[in-house]
Amino acid sequence: MKIFIKIIKVVFTILLFAFSIVILYFIALAPKERRFKIAEHSQGLYFSQSMFDILKLQNPDYSDVYFEQSVAFNKRGEYAKGFELLDKAVELDPKLHLGYRGWMKLRKLRDFDNALNDFNTLDSLTPKFVDAPWGEDIDFLRGECYFGKKDYPKAIELFNRNIKNQKEDWADIYSFVYLGLCEYELGNYEKAISEFQRALKQTENVPESYFGIAKAYLKLGQIEKAKENILKAENNIHYKRDDVYNEFLNEIYSFEIMEFKQKLNKK
The answer to whether position 104 is within a domain reads: no
Give CA–CA dist 229/209, Å, rounded.
Answer: 9
**160 and 182 Cβ atoms separated by less than 8 Å:** no
**101 and 91 Cβ atoms separated by less than 8 Å:** no
Over residues 82-110, the mean pLDDT reads: 96
- Residue 55 pLDDT: 84
The answer to whether position 197 is within a domain reads: yes
The answer to whether position 192 is within a domain reads: yes
CATH number of the domain within which 197 lies: 1.25.40.10
Give the residue with greater pLDDT, 102 vs 60.
102
The answer to whether position 58 is within a domain reads: no
The answer to whether position 78 is within a domain reads: no
Would the pLDDT of 148 be above 90? yes
Over residues 48-71, the mean pLDDT reads: 87
Would the pLDDT of 23 be above 90? no
Q: Whole domain around residue 266: which residue ranges?
A: 173-267
Would the pLDDT of 28 be above 60? no
The answer to whether position 122 is within a domain reads: no
Would the pLDDT of 43 be above 90? no
- Residue 21 pLDDT: 55
Sequence-separated (6 or more) residues with CB below 8 Å from residue 261: 227, 230, 231, 234
- Residue 17 pLDDT: 45
- Residue 103 pLDDT: 97
pLDDT tens-place string over residues 207-217? 999 999 999 99
User: What total of structural domains would you count in the chain?
Assistant: 1
Please, what is the Cα angle at 55 between 49 and 57, to 5 degrees?
105
- Residue 266 pLDDT: 78
Average pLDDT over the chain reads 88
